[in-house]
Structure 1
Amino acid sequence: MAARAGLTIDSLTASAAELADEVGFERVTVSELARRVGVKPASLYSHLRGSDDLRGRISVLALSELGDRLSIALAGRSGRHALDAVVTVMRSYAHEHPGRWESTQVRITASEAGPVGAKVGALMLGIMRGYDIPPQEQTHAVRLVSAAVDGFIRLQANGSFDRSEPNAEASWTRMIQALDTALSHWPAGAPDGSSVDNRETDNSERTSR
């Protein structure tokens, strides 16, 4: 294969993202990317520090794309309408770009994510403010939604819902209804993240003795 001229970090990242969607995020390496673009791996090290750097750039690209979609979908929406919008965007993005979606679920530092990571985080937190969830509880609520959606996506992709009824779409609808209920009736929690009053626990234990 003839080498491609004019490779840039942006074009390499875009090619790597396409590769991730085809073969899986964890299988993306500098060597695999070099084969895809028709150069020797050594030629890419003037642009990349290694495979971890490459995968991190895919994550940033995916977060940027996801943030743009979320911004459009959430405009003018709050509460249940905002929740419906965000989970629909997350699911459709995962179906269209499975490798890129996977890249948004791996560890990446705040400095690496930069403004795109902050944008996605702010959009997600904005949904929780629409449910009147206290500031100290909003991160917990975002994690609940993210975990539920990503878990559903992974299970469906693995065929886990194919062997039983009702179909996956019915369960997806019920999951969103359950999330809306949970967010609408969010339990009070202590500022340190604990949701259990230790004094009540101690009193309960003494009563049962």
Structure 2
Amino acid sequence: MARAGITVDRLTRAAAELADREGLEAVTLSALARGFGVRDASLYAHVRSLRELRVRVALLGADEMTDRIGVAVAGRAGRDALVAFADAYRAYALDHPGRYAATQLRLEPEEAEELADAPGFRRSVELTYGMLRGYGLAEPDLTDAGRLLRSTFHGYVDLELRGAFGHPRAVADSWARSLGALHLLLENWPRAPSGEPAHRPPHERKNP
């Protein structure tokens, strides 16, 4: 029988808070059961496995992050949209490192479909492509540029979260200069040769 007061939403949010405090690897069913004052077995009335729980944290993080980015980029275009998008991305990752780490999990198609078809991840792609279309890009350049932005943003915040930037120059200043360089690159993006495929393979359509 499900323990009174525990719901899948409460369990997911408790897991997200634990991930932010102690890291995603600290999220276990045993740790959450202790937090709720129940036996581990009680949680299986709400989730089938630790993997499902972590996927739910990933979907929660994706929803929250894309909501923040969507608000930031509304009504903006070009450099303003790029900076707003990137700053919202970085701020969310720094504010919620555990949830952000969960969003980097690779979801199997059946997992995403079973858990509401991952609306946050879909909207992330839509926001990215919408911002890039402001630079006049079309496929396959949209996908190529989207991958560049994703790898740049993720690489930067991952290193920042790990404390890997040891130079005394302010990390925020380097971030701002990096965004300026990305803006110049996107304005002068080298168009793909004609004849390249314009569509991504089906297994790559969740994220750029």
| Residue of structure 1 equivalent to 2:139 | 135
Q: By how many angstroms is 1:6 displaced?
A: 1.7
Residue 152 (structure 2) pairs with residue 148 (structure 1) = yes
RMSD: 1.8
The answer to whether structure 1 residue 12 and structure 2 residue 15 are counterparts is: no
CA distance in 1, matches of 2:133, 2:15: 36
Shift of 1:27: 2.5
Q: 1:158 to 1:115 in 2, by over 3 A?
A: closer
- Tell me the distance in 2 between the aligned counterparts of 1:110 and 1:65: 21
1:187 Cα offset (Å): 1.4
Counterpart of 1:161, as a letter, is F
Within the candidate set 171, 182, 186, 2:185 is matched to 182
Mark the structure with the bigger radius of gyration: 1
- The SS at the match of 2:192 is coil
Deviation at 1:5, TM superposition (A): 2.9
Tell me the residue number matched to 2:205. Answer: none
Return structure 1 stretches of 4+ with deviation > 3 angstroms: none
Q: Which whole-Å deviations, capped at 9, do the CAs of 1:21-61 have from their partners, x for residues lacking one?
A: 01111221212211222211100111111111000000000
Match of 1:202 in 2: none
Alpha-carbon displacement from aligned partner over 1:146-172 (angstroms, at most 9, x marks no partner) = 11111111212222222x243212211
Matched to 2:70, the amino acid is S
Contact 2:129 2:142 in 1 (8 A): yes
Instruction: Tell me, in whole angstroms, the C-alpha distance in 2 between the residues paired with 1:110 and 1:125.
Output: 21
Residue 172 (1) aligns with residue 171 (2): no
Alpha carbons 2:55, 2:105 under 8 Å: kept: no
Contact 2:97/2:161, CA 8 A, preserved across alignment: no
Structure 2 Cα separation of the partners of residues 25 and 179 of structure 1: 30
Check the 8 A contact 1:110/1:117 in 2, yes or no.
Answer: no
2:172 maps to amino acid:
E
Amino acid at match of 2:140: Q
**Is the partner of 1:57 in helix, strand or coil?**
helix
2:162 paired with 1:158 = yes
Query: Sequence identity, in percent?
Result: 41
Query: How many residue pairs align between the two structures?
Result: 190
Higher relative contact order (CA 8 A, sep 6+): 2
Q: Distance in 1 between matches of 2:151 and 2:12?
A: 27
Cα offset for 1:110? 4.6
Partner SS state of residue 65, structure 2: helix
Amino acid of the structure 1 residue aligned with 2:94 = H
Amino acid at match of 2:101: E
How far apart, CA to CA, are the structure 1 residues paired with 2:91 and 2:173?
Answer: 17
Structure 1 CA distance for aligned equivalents of residues 189 and 26 of structure 2: 39
Letter in 2 for 1:70: I
Structure 1: any 5+ residue segments left out of the alignment?
194-209
TM-score w.r.t. the length of structure 1 is 0.85
Q: Structure 1: which amino acid aligns with 2:180?
A: Q
